[in-house]
Amino acid sequence: MPSTPRTAPEPISADPPVLTGPTLLTQSWLDLAFVHWAVDPADVAPLLPPGTVPDTFDGAAHVGLVAFRMHRVGWFGLPGVPYLGSFPETNVRLYSVDEHGRRGVVFRSLDASRLLPVAIGRWAFRIPYVWSRMTVRRDGDTLTYTSRRRWPGPRGARGDLTVRIGAPVTEPTPLEHFLTARWGLHTTAFGRPRLLPNAHPRWPLHRAELLAYDEDLVAAAGLTRPPGEPVSVLHSPGVPVRFGPPARTPTRIPARTPPRIPVQRPAGPAS
C-alpha cells in the first residue's frame, strides 16, 4: 500500500458527480446523526482497503459513528421496497483516498435491523453489514438511536446515542464539509479495489448536541474508543441517494447540481 496517493487528492466538491452507467441502488437516508472523533492516522491505516490511505484534515484522521433510518431501498431501477427496504442503520466509518486521488468512505461495520439486506450487502457488495435489533425514536428536537448486535460478530455489541437538534447550518465549516461531502465508497471485491460512487442533493445540515453515548461498535470495528468529546456532531433530516456501478479507473467528470428531489419520510418509530 503506497504511503501517499500517486495523484494529489481531488478537491472535495459540495455537489455530486454525474453517475454513468446503470443505477444499482436507490434509497433515502433519513434522520441522521453524524458523530466524529479525531484519531491518529497510524491507527486507521491498517484498517483501510489495499490501494488507499487515510484522508486527513489538519493532520488528523477521523472515525465517524453515523446513525439514521434507511428508507425504501430499491435495486436496479425497481421501486423502493417499503418493509424490507426500510430499517434503522448505524455505521462506523473512516475516510480514505486512493492512489488516483479519489476520496471516499470506508465502512468498518454497518448495523441494520433487516436480515435480507444484510445478507445481500455482505454477499453482493462485500460490505460488512451486521444484523442487529435497532430503534430510532424522535421526541421533539431529540433523536435516540439504539442497537444490539445479533449476527455476525460479538453478539450484544451495542450502539446507543441521543442527540438534540440545533440550528441549521447555513455554511458548513471546512471540517464539516470534509466529513459529509463524500461521493464514493472504497471497498475490495474479488481481490480488486473498487470505488462505488453515489450521488445525492447537498446535505441539509443542523448542528447538534450529543446528550448520551453508550456504545462499543467502534471497538468491535477494530478501533480504540476515541477519548474525550467528539470534534463534530451534526444532524440532517435526510436526502435521496443513488449508487452507480463500481469504478476501477479514475474518471474525472465535471460536477453538476442535481435536481431537488422530495425526500419520502415514514411516519412513526422504526424497529
In order along its 271 residues, the chain shows pLDDT tens digits of 445 566 788 899 988 988 988 999 999 999 999 999 999 999 999 999 999 999 999 999 999 999 999 999 998 777 888 888 999 999 999 999 999 999 999 999 999 999 999 998 898 888 999 999 999 999 999 999 999 999 997 788 999 999 999 999 999 999 999 999 999 999 987 778 889 999 999 999 999 999 999 999 999 999 987 778 999 999 999 999 999 988 765 444 333 333 343 444 545 555 5
Whether 243 is in a domain gets the answer no
The answer to whether residue 16 is domain-embedded is: no
- pLDDT tens readout for residues 25-58: 999 999 999 999 999 999 999 999 999 999 999 9
- Could you give the CA distance from residue 41 to residue 117 in angstroms, rounded to a whole number? 32
Q: What is the 3-state secondary structure (H, E, C) of 15-71?
A: CCCCCCCCCCEEEEEEEEEEEEEEECHHHHHHHCCCCEEECCECCEEEEEEEEEEEE
Has residue 252 been placed in a domain? no
The contacts of residue 91 (CB under 8 Å, 6+ apart) are 64, 65, 66, 107, 108, 109, 110, 111
Report the C-alpha gap between 21 and 246 in whole angstroms. Answer: 10
Q: Tell me the residue type at 195.
A: L
CA distances from 224 to 43, 141, 146, 165, 218 (A): 8, 31, 21, 27, 7
| Residue 265 confidence (pLDDT) | 52
- pLDDT attached to residue 255: 38
Pairing verdict, β 103-112 and 129-139: parallel
Name the strand (E) or helix (H) holding 96: strand 87-98
C-alpha cell at 222: 477494530
| Closest of 74, 119, 86, 96 to residue 185, by C-alpha | 96
Grid cell for residue 14:
459540495
**Is residue 219, in this structure, part of any structural domain at all?**
yes
Whether 201 is in a domain gets the answer: no
Query: Tell me, what's the pLDDT at 158?
Result: 95
> How many structural domains compose the chain?
1
Q: Up-side HSE of residue 188: CA atoms within 13 Å toward CB? A: 10
Domain of 134, in residue numbers: 39-65+88-196+208-230
Cell representation of residue 5: 496517493
Q: Residue 30 in contact with residue 68, Cβ under 8 Å?
A: yes
Tell me if 58 is assigned to some domain: yes
CA atoms within 13 A on the CB side of 29: 25
* Residue 121 within any structural domain of the chain: yes
Is residue 141, in this structure, part of any structural domain at all?
yes
3-state helix, strand and coil shares in percent for the chain, rounded to the nearest 5: 10, 45, 45
